[in-house]
């Protein structure tokens, strides 16, 4: 089963859900996410997801 996670300034999935993402899962990090006070935790979780085989996409001006 694949999951789709979006990290931005207003909404985030559960930190554990991002960390547990693996093959077939997608994690999108929007530029606005960097203003979150907990962004470093989500950035680390995205790295774990990447290492586990998830596709992690750092968006750059693709919003709109």
Residue 62 pLDDT level (bands cut at 50, 70, 90): low
Give the tens place of pLDDT for each residue, 5-57.
999 999 999 999 999 999 999 999 999 999 999 999 999 999 999 999 999 99
Residue 59 pLDDT level (bands cut at 50, 70, 90): very high
Question: How far is CA 19 from each of CA 51, 61, 64, rounded to the nearest angstrom?
Answer: 10, 25, 27
Number of structural domains the chain divides into:
1
Residues 6+ apart with CB under 8 A from 4: 25, 26, 28
Is residue 47 situated within a structural domain?
A: yes
Is residue 48 situated within a structural domain?
A: yes
Is residue 64 situated within a structural domain?
A: no
List the domain range (segments joined by +) for residue 41: 4-58
Residue 63 pLDDT level (bands cut at 50, 70, 90): low
């Amino acid at each position: 089963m694949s999951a789709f996670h979006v990290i931005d300034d207003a909404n985030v999935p559960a930190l554990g859900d991002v960390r547990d993402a693996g093959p077939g899962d997608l994690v999108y990090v929007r530029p606005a996410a960097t203003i979150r006070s907990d962004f470093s935790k989500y950035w680390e979780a995205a790295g774990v997801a990447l290492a586990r085989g998830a596709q992690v996409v750092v968006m750059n001006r693709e919003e709109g």
